[in-house]
A and B are shown apart, each in its own frame.
Chain A
Amino acid sequence: MSIPQKLSLKPVGLAVPAFAILLAVFGIPMIRLFLTSLDAPAFSLANYEAFFRQGANVRVLFQTIEVSLVVTAICVIIGYPTAYLMASAPKNLRTALIVLVVIPYLTSLLVRTYAWIVILGDRGMVNNVLLELGLISSPLPLIYNRMAVYVGMVQIMLPLMILPLVTVMVSIDRSLVAAARSMGAQPSAAFWRVFFPLSLPGVRSGSLLVFVLCLGFYITPAALGGLRDAMLSTFIAAQVETSFNMARTATSAFILLGIAAVMLAIFGLDLAGTQGRAVRPMPESSWKPVRLLSAIKRFSNELAASYRAKRWNAKLYQASNIRRRTIARAVFVVSVMLFLLLPSVVVVIMSFSAGEFLTFPPPGISLKWYRSFFDDPSWTGAALTSVEIGVAVTILSTIVGTLAAYGLNRTSPKLRSILTLLLLAPITLPSIVVGISAYLGLLSFGLIGTKTGIALTHSLGAIAYVVVIVSATLASFDRRLEQAAMSMRAGPLQTFKRVTLPLIRPGIMGGALFAFLHSFDEVVKTSLVSGLSIRTLPLKMWENIRHEIDPTIAAVASLLVLLPVLWLAAIYVTWWRSRPSAEHALPDAAA
């Protein structure tokens, strides 16, 4: 009895480091801000009343929820099949596709938004081509409307949907689907009744991340949307810029957090809540669409089942069918990748411009903007600083976040929900509010204007990413494997190292990646806590983009894109080189 008890006590303890960082850097000042929004010590709801008394605030709140929900839905609809196909691809292709999905993240958010203007603008790529071809006589309104907002936001958010989905799907045992098919289940039934339920943790994690992040969006809606396409954060930012009334700002921020909490409660905050699923038999009651019709359908299905079971094996290798399906799948994946990569590609092309400002197509080709980057120590220095901070953030938040996810996975659902919401707060709240909290938090440790301070601030958000993505993998993790290891006398640490860790590695890698990228693209919080003495690459880019549209920005953005591509190419070359023996063996055998 004592061993299980010990185990049930331990897990939450694993989340302690994460919460220690959260509390020290962000939590305590945040509580102060909350009290400020309540007019402490007098305590009144006056600020909240004032917020809701303004019709515009309420309307923009609904609009913010609407936009976030639509973006999340589009991301699921596009992301799920993409992730499914990626997960079923061979390992090397999958790695390449994952890199392609992540690449857009390396292009700063600002630069990508800018690229969409170049693509969709009234004098942008698409309109210019159509005008040139004579298909239209005046530019189509592709930009400054809600549609453009969705295009821009989905492009930014899609990787965050795909990645958790892929990590979960990869860990689903495909033989379960094959088993269902072999027993006569139709492909769709095998998918919906076996694969889909197992992939739900990924859908939840992805939707959660996307939705929560969308709530705080406003640069993309402001740049690509029309006059009415404002988000609550637009209002908050305007408020901070002009009068900086802390109580009011905090009030709006907490309302946003409240909305996130409500939505999460409805759609299932319980990220890791399905780990028992594999053990439990599928409850029949969860599968009850239109009763009568489905009963008839099911009956006829049952009759045909044994026939299908026999044919399954033969069908599996029908070439023509497979080829057609493969082409359709390839076309789908390629179009999703093109959509994701288009802005980055445009930026890369513009970076080689010989002109003085960003235009597409560029008036000539030159490397002068790369030279302007490498010749300027303020650029290269900033890049180095960013890498340093990024690596520190990745190490810290991956370890701390994985521990927290592991710990949360083993606690009671109720506690888990609350703790998860707290961990997600830094990415739900508008950056400016998190930045102010972090400033106040770091100040008491004397860490303003230090790299440590910036790294801690970035870790707030990075931990949230790691927890969400790792939780998704843990949810589909079969705990009986651990029990088996333990029953064979493996200690908890050994079990974790030899059984759990290897199995959840994809989730950890995904989390680490996003932790790094989060740090690498952060501007608002960094600008506040850098104390004007540390320059990161995004800060430098931001300064540049506000004042001029200089192609150096594009060169920097392109370097960030090209480096991982080159890295990928290098990996492939080494992989290719290590294969010749096997490659040669085959033709020889055929001959």
Chain B
Amino acid sequence: MSVLVDRRRLTQGGASALVIGALDSITGRALAVSSDELRVMVNGGDVGKANIEAYTKPFQAATGIKVSALTDQLTLAKLELMVTTNSVSVDVFPMSQGSALVAAEKGLLEPIDYSIYKKEELDGLFDFAKQPFGVGMVIFSYLMVYNTEKFPANQPRPTNWADFWDVKKFPGVRALVSGRNGGEGPWEEALLADGVAPDKIYPMDIDHIFASLDKIKPHIRKWWTVGSEIQQIMQDKAADLVQSYSGRAGLAVSRGAPMELNRNQSKLQWDYWVIPKGSPNAQKAQKFIEFATRAERQAALSQLFPEGPANRNAFKLLEEKVARKLPTHPEYLASAVPINMGWYSERGADGLTNTERLRERWNEWILR
């Protein structure tokens, strides 16, 4: 049995006292592999291949530093195990915003050295992409996708989340992202659907979220948990109106699915490049991240894979045709809602973070 963890799983939550106390007796043996080789994790599949072409290969060519690209991903649990037991075997890896915030709070990440960045590159990076613990790697979005056969151009089409919730005006089979992890869920969408203004979403009212979800609950055919699920649903035309990752939706459309992406009220989320504390090659890792967040490299990636660059200057190097496929195209940004993970990791008086609160509430809600 395995844990299905999607790369996009937002993760968030409280500092846990991972047994550090209980562990230290067996952590005497340091296992960290020190070598000249820089070990960079790049995720698997097509994204992994694109990351290798856009980042690791050119970095090796430009600096002479040998890079070993690991087509894998790292979960929060594994990172914590590696760092607390001093057995770090990776130098750089991509981490979701939520996980990165938790990891940073737990002190598992190396601080980023911004002194080696050129000013123009720094200016190009979105503000949220420049964190003490990590630099923005890629931006993607959750957006609404509808079937063009069900909703043809000459008839009204759903344009916002209120429309998605309106089952009378827009009848059809629906799918939404599951909220089982707390950090990822249709929370912002539920508020938008109930008329909350995009700039008034945070701080989120959890009661309000679930009151809104109550209305749509009977009409959701599938609450999906991983990207491959929603991609399958779109490819099979098994639903008419779904929430999807931008990348998965783009892929389904490019393979001929009769679906249209609605960019209005899309929710922006991103991954960071981070360095685990105790990385054997931290200095080279800093250099790698600086290299990989340059506008030119990010543009190269966007040409290989339709994900948004964290460096705005990359758009100057991209054709409009390519740029339009990216979730951070300036035009889409205007109506997009950037996710505020800071709110998710806020801790209440009871010691629970909002992520944990959402997760517990979700667990109650699904069994009701």
Residues in chain A within 8 A of chain B (CB atoms): 29, 32-33, 35-36, 40, 54-57, 59-60, 63, 109-110, 117, 121-124, 144, 213, 216-219, 222-223, 227-228, 230, 233-235, 237-248, 356-357, 359, 378, 430-432, 436, 439-440, 443-444, 446, 448-449, 523-524, 527-528, 531-533, 539, 542-550
Q: Which residue of B lies closest to A522 (CB)?
A: B2
Cβ-closest chain B residue relative to A124: B236
The reply to whether A117 and B228 form a contact with Cβ atoms under 8 Å apart is no
* Interface pairs A-B: 8 shortest CB-CB: A243-B13, A547-B45, A245-B16, A543-B44, A523-B2, A56-B363, A123-B236, A122-B238
Q: How far is the CA of A436 from the CA of B79 in the complex (A)?
A: 12
Tell me how far the C-beta of B23 lies from the nearest C-beta in chain A, rounded to whole angstroms: 7
Q: Is the CB of A248 within 8 A of B46?
A: no
Q: List 21 A-B contacts (CB under 8 A).
A: A33-B22, A56-B364, A56-B367, A122-B238, A144-B221, A216-B1, A219-B4, A223-B229, A230-B363, A230-B367, A238-B181, A240-B75, A241-B11, A241-B75, A242-B12, A242-B102, A243-B16, A532-B39, A546-B4, A546-B227, A547-B228
Q: Across the interface, which residues of A come within 8 angstroms of B237, CB to CB?
A: 123
CB <8 Å contact, A524 and B236 = no
**Is B244's beta carbon under 8 Å from chain A?**
no
Which secondary structure dominates chain A's binding surface? helix
Contact check, B220 vs A227: say whether CB atoms are below 8 A apart: yes
Bound-complex Cα distance A408 to B363 (A): 41
Across the interface, do A439 and B81 meet the contact criterion of CB distance under 8 Å?
Answer: yes
B272 within 8 A of A: no
Given the known A-B contacts A122-B238, A223-B229, are A228 and B366 also in contact in the complex, defined by CB atoms under 8 Å?
yes
Report if B226 contacts A (CB, 8 A).
Answer: yes
Other CB < 8 Å A-B pairs besides A35-B22, A242-B102, 9 of them?
Answer: A217-B1, A237-B3, A245-B14, A246-B18, A432-B3, A443-B87, A532-B70, A542-B2, A543-B72
Q: Does B141 contact A (CB under 8 A)?
A: no
Given contacts A222-B4, A228-B366, A238-B359, contact A243 B353 (CB under 8 A): yes
Which of chain A's residues have a CB closer than 8 A to the CB of B116?
A: none
Residue from B26, B39, B74, B223 in contact with A444 in the complex, judged by beta carbons closer than 8 Å? B26
- A528 adjacent to B367 (CB under 8 Å): no
A228 to chain B, nearest CB (A): 5
- CA of A431 to CA of B75, assembled, Å: 15
* B-side contacts of A247, CB under 8 Å: 16-17, 19
Q: Which residue of B lies closest to A223 (CB)?
A: B229
| Contact yes or no, A242 B173, CB < 8 A | no
B235 & A443 in contact (Cβ 8 Å cutoff): no
B333 within 8 A of A: no
The distance from the CB of A211 to the nearest CB of chain B, in whole angstroms, is 14
Contacts of B5 in A (CB 8 A): 241, 546
Q: Is the CB of B367 within 8 A of A59?
A: yes
Tell me the bound Cα distance from A121 to B18 in angstroms: 41
CB within 8 A of B6: which of A144, A243, A546? A546
- Residue B306 CB within 8 A of the other chain: no
- What is the bound-complex CA distance between A35 and B25, given in angstroms? 15
For the complex formed, measure the closest distance between the CB of A63 and the CB atoms of chain B, giving whole angstroms.
7
Count how many pairs of residues, one from A and one from B, have CB atoms less than 8 Å apart in the complex. 222
Q: Which residues of B contact A109 (CB under 8 A)?
A: 1-2
Closest to A237 in B: B3
Contact of B287 with A by CB under 8 A: no
Q: Which residues of A have CB within 8 Å of B18? A: 244-246
> A227–B366 contact, CB under 8 A?
yes
How far apart are the CA atoms of A545 and B46 in the complex, in Å? 11
The answer to whether the Cβ of B78 comes within 8 Å of any Cβ in the partner chain is yes
**Chain A residue, CB-CB nearest to B179:** A238
- Per the bound structure, the CA–CA distance linking A121 and B173 in Å amounts to 13
Q: Is A219 a contact partner of B1 (Cβ separation < 8 A)?
A: yes
> Given the complex, which residues of A lie within 8 Å of B212, measured CB to CB?
none
**Contact A230–B48 (Cβ < 8 Å):** no
Chain B residues in 8 Å Cβ range of A248: 16
* Minimal beta-carbon separation of B274 from chain A (angstroms): 15
Whole-angstrom CA separation of A546 from B5 in the bound complex: 8
B149 to chain A: closest CB distance in Å? 13
Q: What residue of chain B has the Cβ atom nearest to residue A57's Cβ?
A: B363
Contact present for A246 and B19 (CB under 8 Å)? yes
Residues of A within 8 A of B77 (CB): 240-241, 244, 432, 436, 528
**Residue in B closest to A108 when the chains form the complex, CB atoms:** B2
Are A241 and B76 also in contact (CB < 8 A) when A60-B363, A218-B1, A222-B225 are? Answer: yes
